[in-house]
Structure 1
Amino acid sequence: MKIIPIPYGRQELSNDDKNAVMEVLNSEFLTQGPLVPRFEQKIADYCEVKSVVVCNSATSALHIACLALGVSKGDNVWTSPISFVASANCALYCGANIDFVDIDPLTLNMSADKLEEKLRVAKKIDNLPKVVIPVHMAGQSCDMEKIYNLSREYGFKVIEDASHAIGGKYKDISVGSCKYSDITVFSFHPVKIITTGEGGAVTTNQENLAKLMRQYRSHGITSAPNEMSPTSDEEIWNYQQIGLGYNYRMTDIQAALGLSQIKKLDKFVEKRQLIANKYDDLLKKLPLAVPYCHPNSYSTYHLYVVRLNLKKISKSQKEVHNSLRQLGININLHYIPIYLQPYYKQLGFNRGYCVEAESYYREALTLPIYPGLSENQQQFVVNTLHQILS
């Protein structure tokens, strides 16, 4: 019997999504058309934020966010070790130094208490960060109010890496509103809450930052007359490069898909919530810990991460992982602590740097969760876990 694999995550595309893309393919604009600003406005309305700049990836969005905040050589940027490498790489792109703040073992997010401890020490040795990038792991917001208050006390800027969290809430406020941050970043990769194929966005309430990020997104170019240098009356100038930027633009094809997907955003999150709640109920008797959701947070459940109680299991984490994959359940691990990656170890990081992050890494497994996961598929995942862990 052929095994049909169950992925840990996948996109959910309807005929409406496909038709929206086909309309663009049949139009005059494939890129730099009217749909990119329209998609930006939709996100702004949804998040109740002043400005949105969409990009070709969340990695690009993180990079231009750092650039807009003036991150450069010699600056310090701190982030969570439990995230995709892009959360740290964006600082290195700017020539800055990167460091990590250990996680809260319950929420798996950057610990605000550990951040405060690290800031106290850094202040004494005049080594404070210029930017802190808290990561909303699996779709649950960090303790942004405390992090924001610390930013006011210690003088750093805040970029929320909300790649997992569009559609989520913190204290009943939409993630992306930037009430407690300077900039928020979203991802529209296929396994995220909504997708544009590849894509990302930055949100901000500071128009000066939005203006800079638009320039960084498009080669450092402007067409605004008030931003251009004076020229001869005989010369034709319809744009000028006024800084060094990148080609990080989103196409109208991607924006069309995003505009169609965002209509279903709330339904996607609601379905993920239902799947997560069912997992919570079906897994409660197994030797593992299901995800903890803080009362202040409405999680998007981009990921459903369990932590194995290895003292009560006869198998190792790797054995459980391999057994599930052999049966067609393509679970994953989110994430290896960034500083344990070979490249980061070359920068001087070693095991033991963030104790909670490493403890989590040795126990974590990501189970399948996405809107199209059927009840039968979920039950198969649960039944298989019961067999393996029993």
Structure 2
Amino acid sequence: MNYDVVIVGAGHAGAQAAISLRQQKFEGSIAIIGDEPEFPYERPPLSKEYFAGEKPFERIMIRPEIFWQERDVVMLLSTRIVSVNPQNRTVRTNSGSEIGYSNLIWAAGASPRKLSLPGFTLEGIHYLRNRSDVDPMIENMDAVQDIIVVGGGYIGLEAAAVLRKIGKKVTVLEALDRVLARVAGEPLSRFYESEHRSQGVKILLGQNILEAFGEDKHVTGVRLLDGHEEPAQMVIVGIGVEPAVQPLIDAGAEGSNGVYVDEYCRTSLVDTYAIGDCAAHSNAYAGNEEIRLESVQNANDQAKTAASAICGNPLPYDAVPWFWSNQYDLKLQTVGLFAKHDDFVIRGEMSARSFSVVYMREGRVTALDCVNSVRDCVQGKALIESRKIVSRDQLKSASALKDLLK
């Protein structure tokens, strides 16, 4: 088997890479290799609408099966790549088969970071990344009343919101002193802590887990370092991910926490690209630091960048990061990167549950967290791109952020 482009990974990034190649009139052969049996599907609904039973699986597929057939994209599913040979331009599968390529796009994403603590191999302990993670939780939900969510990031809080909606008792265990600590400023953290507690979620901050315990090989609770025990018939762990790049690193690609790529998503290996969660890149909106972005926006935009380079029309990646999270009736839209801000302004009233946290660095807007405030998100993106210097008073008092661009 030989293809002009081999795409490793059938998630958002891999699917978009194939779509973009065909949109740009690429006529060569394309194969997508995915380690799941399903055709490409959306990941965010796994902790939202799909988990809640509001969307069937067919409605979260990125494209129907016939789409890939009509565009002559070969799908090699239930297949995992274990090694890359850049000299021979081949990848080896877990079954020992070799697949040749002219261009390789690595879009393998990431895998959930596991808790290597006593008891965390018991039945009833779950990680939330793929459909195969979520379906067993849905199937066993009727037999469960007490659920512990380990990790107060977006995934954990989204899961908690869904679980409260269906009437489960939920406890969130967070090791840091606030939820969302790695992705947002303190005002937003405290707002979401308050919202979840008002919905009946028990949030325990600054907590370290000693072990999980159980009966008959099934979890019945979690014991904390201070000796406190929380009951649970199900535990959902959401403590981050590890980029799936080891075969590329073993083949000589530069990288550590992800594989390094340039502005065209090229790795240090010839005719080899990396995109999405696994790609570490220099980002202008992070002060040109090497970062990985775990978002659909980044996956799609980097896929388009790699496809353009392969088609001979190289366009550097330069997209403002954005992200969203739905919890209860709160729609959070984040644009830009809040890290290294030196000031912030709150627009609107948090008590009204429609507001924006605007982050600044050296007088310029670098990011916004917009809760039920779509207009601020859209106009704030343009303000970030403009790099215009604005004052705190201007940000706070402007009736519309677009007025500050004049």
Fold-level similarity (TM above 0.5): no
Q: From the two aligned structures, give the one with the greater strand fraction.
A: 2
Q: What is the TM-score when the length of structure 1 is the normalising length?
A: 0.31
Q: Which has the higher contact order (CA 8 A, sep 6+)?
A: 1
Tell me the TM-score normalized by structure 2: 0.30
Q: If each structure's helix is expressed as a fraction of its own residues, which one has the higher value?
A: 1
